[in-house]
Structure 1
C-alpha cells in the first residue's frame, strides 16, 4: 500500500482521509481488530462487497442534490477506481462498486475536490438525510424543506454523539402531507407544517423502520417549531447512543429501543438530555440551499417529435409544472438505478442547455431535473430519448424499485435487479395503460432486509428460497398491501406466499388481472386488498406457488445460468487476533486526544462527549477482563458499579453512574468541559495502570 497525501482547503477533511489511510495500513499489519476496523471504514462509506477483495463505496449526497460537475467528477472516479458504473440508491446516494480497499483514500480525495463526501454514508451513524426530491419546487409545499435537511446533515456530520452508535439512524423530510419521503418508516421523519401563528414547524414521526421486522413510526409532535428540530434530534441521538442495543445487531435499531422501554419512557429520557445539548434552539438559515440559476431561454425549438404519442405520454407521466411560474420539473426513469459513466457524461451535456444545474436523485432510483422552460421540453425530450432516458411512467407500476441483490451485495439471496427488468417488461408489453397508474407501487429486495423497500409496496417481493425434490429453488416472498397513506401514516405489506422466482411474472399478472376484474369502481388498491383479505390472495396465488410442477429452468435464478445456491459473499480479509481490551484502552487514549483538541478550539459540547466516551470505553475494557459483556452503554455503567465500585476494587468519590452521568445533568459550559475532561483523564490513567498491574502480575 503506497502512502498517500493531498492538500485541501478544509484541514478536517484532509485529516479524515489521512486517518483512513493510516487505519487501513494498521489493519493490514494486524494492529486493529477486525470488528473495530469494519466500524471505522463503514463510517467512511466503505462497505464490503459480495465479491472477495473489493469494496462498494457509498457517496453521501444530502437529500439527493448533485450538480453537473459533481456528477462528472463521480463518473471520473468510478472509471479510475471502480467498474465504470454509477448506482442510484433508495436513500438518494450514489454507489461505486469493485473498489480496492487500499485505494479508497485516494478515491475520497478525488471526490472532495468537488465537495463530495463519503463520511458517514454507511456504518452506525446518521445516514444520508433524505427529502422529497421535489422540495423547493413542489406547488403544494408549505415551504422548502431542503435547507432543514441540509442543516441536519451538516450538524451531525462528524458530531461525537453519533459516531459509534449501536446501529444506524435514518432521517427524512417530506415536502408535503403526501409524505413522499416516507416519514413513517424512519427513525425520525419530518413533515412541514405552519401553525395558526404563521410559524414554521414539523410534524415529527419517531422510531419507524423496515428491515425483516417493519415498525410504523409514532407521532411525538404534531407541531415542533423549526428552531427545535436539531436540538430534539440531538437529544434523541444521545439517548439512542446510551441506551441502544450494541450486542445483538438484530435488535439494535431505535424501533426496538421503543419496544423495550416504551414510547413514554424513551420520550422522558429524550427530555432529560436537553440540558446537555450543544444548542437549546437552533435557527436554521433557510438561504443555505438557494434556488439554482435558471437556464437561459431556448430559441428555435419549433417542430414535432418523431413519435407524438410517446412524447405526450412522457409529458403526462414524467413532467409537472413547478410552483415557479413558467418552469417544469422533469423526472427521468433510470432502469435498475444504473448509469454507465460514458452515458452519464453524455447525459450532462444533453441536459445542460435546458435544465438548472441541480439534479435530485429520487427514492425510486431515478433523477429529477428542475427549471425546464416550456419551450425547452421538446428538445430536452429528444436528447433524453436518444439516451433511452425518456421512458414514460415515472413512479408508476412500470417503475420498479430494486436493490442490487446478488449482483454485489453480501446479503443478497436472489437477483432482484434482473427480476425488476423482467416485471417492467411484462407491464410495458402487456399492460401499457398502467404507465399512468401512480397509486400502485412495486418494489423488490434481494433479501428480507428491505433495501429495495418491499415492505412499503402495494406489491413487494423479497429474495428467498424453497426446497423441492432435494434441491434449493430460488423464490420470492410475495408481500401485498403496503404503501403510503399520507401525513405520517403508512401501511406495512403482509407476507402472503412464497413462489419460485421464475413465477414472479405470473404472480404479477394474477394480481393485476384480479384487481382490474374484481375491484369496485373507484376502489383503490388498498381498499381492494382490505376488502378481499390476505387469505383471498393466498388462495389466488397458491396454484402459481405449487412446487409439484417445477420445470428445470426454475432451479436457476433470473440473470444466471448456474443452478441456484443460497450463498453469502466472502467478507473482507481479517486482521490477526489481538487483545480487544488493549485495543479499547488504546482507543481511550485517542478519544482523550480528541477531547483535548475539541476543548482547545472551544467546542465544549464535543469535548464533553469525547470525555464521556473515554470513560465508558475504559469501563467496558475492564469489564471484559472479568468476562462481563454488556450490550448497552447504560448497562456498562451499571455493571461497572456492580463489579468494581460496590466490591471496593475501584474507589471513586461516588458511584460510577453518578460519576459518568454528570454529562446530562450539566450545561455544556467551558467550566464543566474542563472538569469533566480532567475527570476522564484521571479515570483513564487509573484504570490503565490497574490493568497493567494485573496483566504483569
Structure 2
C-alpha cells in the first residue's frame, strides 16, 4: 500500500491507537495503553509476556516504551491487525485514546511506590479519566487537538507539569496547584500555575473545563494557544465559568502502598527492547510483586522484594530516590518508522548512552527527531531537537530544562556532530547546565565544528 493511501486512511482516526509506519507497505503500528479503568502506570507480567508473543508473531520482535506509560508494537501487517487487537483485548489492553485528538493517559506518578507521595495520584487519575475514556465527546472530530493531563503526588513534579495541558501537583497541606497551558512542538509553551491551593473535589472540573474550552474555541493547535489568545486572567475566568457547572469530584479511594525494598530500573535503547529482554523482565516481575511500572521515562521499573539476579543491564534505586534518574537518555522513534522524523534517534540515543557511561555523567538527555518534539527535548537537562536548515539535518541544543520549566536554546549544530556536543557537555559541572549558564556553555560549544549559537 502506498504511504499516501495509508496516511489518508489512518491519520484522521489516530485516536484509535493505530498509525502508519514509514514507507510504501501495508505495515502499521499500534500504540497500547491499559484498558478503561485500569491503573495506567501498572502493567502485569502476563501483559508483558503477551506483548512479546504478539510482537514475535505479528511484528518486528521488539517492544517500544513511550513517555506516557504506553507501549508500541511495530511492523504489523494491516491484514493481521484485527487478530492483534483481539489478543490485546484478552490481556486487558486497549489502543483507543492513546494517540491523535483524544484525552491521553491521565498519567499519575506511581505514588504507591514513593515514600514522598502526599496523595494517591493513581486513584485521582483514574477518577478523572473515567469522564474522558472511550467518550466520543472527547475524541476526534469533537475534540480538535489532544489533551494531556498528569498528576504528581508531591512538589517534585515527576509527572512534568511544565509541559502539560493540565498538570496537577499535590502540596504538603493536602491541597493542589494546577498548571495549565504547557506543551512542546514547533512552539513550546511553559505552563502557568492557574489554580492554587484547590481541593481535590475541584480537579475533575478543571480538567473538563480545559477540554471543553478547547472544543469551544475549535483550536487545532492545542490549549496552549487558547491561553496565548486570552491571557492568564481571562482564560481563568472562562474556565471557572465551565467549572461552576461540573459536579464536585467524589473522594478517591486510597491505593495500597507497596513497601518495596528497592526498585530495579531497566533502561531501554531509545525506548526499544527486544522481546526476549522484555520477557525476562516479565519473569522478574512475576517473581516479585507481579507487575512493572511504566511511567513517563523510557525505563521499565520492577519493585523488588527479593534479591535480583539477571544478566540484563539495570540500576538499583532506593524508593526515596524515586524520580531522580541520572544519566538517562530519552528519544522518539526517529526516521526508522516515523514519517516526519529526519534523523535516526535510536542510533543517536545509543551513542549518547555510551558517552555518558564512559564519562560517568549523570546528565539527563532528551532527543527528538523532528519539530514535533515527541522526545520532549525542551525539558531535558540537555535536549537535542532535530530540524532542517539549508538542506542539512541539524540539532538545536537546549540546556537546563526540568519538570517545571523549558530549557534555554543555546544554538545548533550539524546532527552528525551530536557526539561532540555531548562530550563537551558531559565534561562541564552538571550544576552549570541545570542552572543554564548559557554564556559559559556557548563558549565551550563554539569549539565544535558547525556550532552556531542562538540569536534569541
TM-score band, normalised by shorter chain? 0.7 to 0.9
In structure 1, distance between residues paired with 2:207 and 2:57: 38
Structure 2 gaps of 5+ residues are: 318-322
1:258 is displaced (CA, Å) by 0.9
Deviations 1:416-474 (A, max 9, x none): 11111112111212x13x3xx3xx3211111122111110012111223444xxxx443
Task: Sort the Cα spacing of 1:191 and 1:547 in 2 relative to 1 into closer, same or farther, 3 A.
Answer: closer
Quote the residue 2:268 is aligned against. Answer: 334
Quote the residue 2:372 is aligned against. Answer: 449
In structure 1, distance between residues paired with 2:196 and 2:157: 15
Quote the residue 1:459 is aligned against. Answer: 382
Quote the residue 1:475 is aligned against. Answer: 394
Quote the residue 1:70 is aligned against. Answer: 47
Number of residue pairs aligned between Structure 1 and Structure 2: 436
Secondary structure at 2:104 match in 1: coil
Secondary structure at 2:16 match in 1: coil
1:244–1:257 Cα contact (<8 Å) kept: no
The equivalent position to 2:158 in structure 1, one of 168, 173, 180, is 180
1:48 is displaced (CA, Å) by 1.8
1:136–1:143 Cα contact (<8 Å) kept: no
Deviations 1:37-95 (A, max 9, x none): 6322x111011222333211100235322011111122222223321211001111100
Quote the residue 2:450 is aligned against. Answer: 546
Secondary structure at 1:511 match in 2: helix
2:112–2:256 Cα contact (<8 Å) kept: no
The equivalent position to 1:365 in structure 2, one of 293, 298, 314, is 298
Quote the residue 2:231 is aligned against. Answer: 262
1:443–1:457 Cα contact (<8 Å) kept: yes
In structure 1, distance between residues paired with 2:208 and 2:225: 19
Quote the residue 2:320 is aligned against. Answer: none
* Structure that is richer in strand per residue: 2
Secondary structure at 1:444 match in 2: strand
The equivalent position to 2:21 in structure 1, one of 49, 53, 69, is 49
Q: 1:401 and 2:325 equivalent?
A: no
In structure 2, distance between residues paired with 1:362 and 1:158: 21
Quote the residue 1:526 is aligned against. Answer: 434
The equivalent position to 1:346 in structure 2, one of 280, 303, 314, is 280
Task: Sort the Cα spacing of 1:413 and 1:350 in 2 relative to 1 into closer, same or farther, 3 A.
Answer: same
1:284 is displaced (CA, Å) by 4.0
Task: Sort the Cα spacing of 1:76 and 1:219 in 2 relative to 1 into closer, same or farther, 3 A.
Answer: same
Q: 1:232 and 2:146 equivalent?
A: no
1:547 is displaced (CA, Å) by 8.3
In structure 2, distance between residues paired with 1:335 and 1:220: 37
1:127 is displaced (CA, Å) by 1.0
The equivalent position to 1:418 in structure 2, one of 336, 342, 347, is 347
The equivalent position to 1:152 in structure 2, one of 105, 109, 128, is 128
In structure 2, distance between residues paired with 1:368 and 1:202: 27
Stretch moving more, 112-121 or 149-158: 149-158
The equivalent position to 1:223 in structure 2, one of 197, 208, 214, is 197
In structure 2, distance between residues paired with 1:37 and 1:414: 23
In structure 2, distance between residues paired with 1:208 and 1:119: 24
Secondary structure at 1:173 match in 2: strand
1:34 is displaced (CA, Å) by 7.7
1:465–1:474 Cα contact (<8 Å) kept: yes
Q: 1:500 and 2:414 equivalent?
A: yes
1:369 is displaced (CA, Å) by 1.5
What aligned pairs does 1:189-338 form with structure 2 within 5 A after superposition? 189-193=167-171, 195=173, 200-246=174-220, 252-274=221-243, 276-277=245-246, 280-287=247-254, 289-290=255-256, 324=259, 327-338=261-272
* Structure that is richer in helix per residue: 1
1:256 is displaced (CA, Å) by 0.5
Task: Sort the Cα spacing of 1:545 and 1:464 in 2 relative to 1 into closer, same or farther, 3 A.
Answer: farther
Task: Sort the Cα spacing of 1:235 and 1:86 in 2 relative to 1 into closer, same or farther, 3 A.
Answer: same
2:132–2:138 Cα contact (<8 Å) kept: yes
Quote the residue 2:94 is aligned against. Answer: 117
Task: Sort the Cα spacing of 1:515 and 1:290 in 2 relative to 1 into closer, same or farther, 3 A.
Answer: closer
Task: Sort the Cα spacing of 1:395 and 1:545 in 2 relative to 1 into closer, same or farther, 3 A.
Answer: farther
Task: Sort the Cα spacing of 1:202 and 1:161 in 2 relative to 1 into closer, same or farther, 3 A.
Answer: farther
Task: Sort the Cα spacing of 1:231 and 1:396 in 2 relative to 1 into closer, same or farther, 3 A.
Answer: closer
Secondary structure at 2:170 match in 1: strand
Task: Sort the Cα spacing of 1:276 and 1:138 in 2 relative to 1 into closer, same or farther, 3 A.
Answer: same
1:244–1:253 Cα contact (<8 Å) kept: no
Secondary structure at 1:78 match in 2: helix
Secondary structure at 2:198 match in 1: strand
Quote the residue 1:89 is aligned against. Answer: 66
Secondary structure at 1:544 match in 2: coil
2:165–2:223 Cα contact (<8 Å) kept: yes
In structure 1, distance between residues paired with 2:156 and 2:325: 16
> TM-score, normalising length from structure 2?
0.88
In structure 2, distance between residues paired with 1:507 and 1:547: 9
Task: Sort the Cα spacing of 1:129 and 1:465 in 2 relative to 1 into closer, same or farther, 3 A.
Answer: same
State the structure with more CA Rg.
1
In structure 2, distance between residues paired with 1:171 and 1:159: 16
Task: Sort the Cα spacing of 1:281 and 1:547 in 2 relative to 1 into closer, same or farther, 3 A.
Answer: closer
In structure 1, distance between residues paired with 2:315 and 2:58: 30
1:216 is displaced (CA, Å) by 1.1
2:269–2:346 Cα contact (<8 Å) kept: no
Quote the residue 2:356 is aligned against. Answer: 427
**Over the residues paired in the alignment, what is the CA RMSD in angstroms?**
2.6
> TM-score, normalising length from structure 1?
0.59
Task: Sort the Cα spacing of 1:275 and 1:413 in 2 relative to 1 into closer, same or farther, 3 A.
Answer: same
In structure 2, distance between residues paired with 1:455 and 1:547: 19
Structure 1 gaps of 5+ residues are: 1-27, 247-251, 292-321, 485-489, 517-522, 549-697
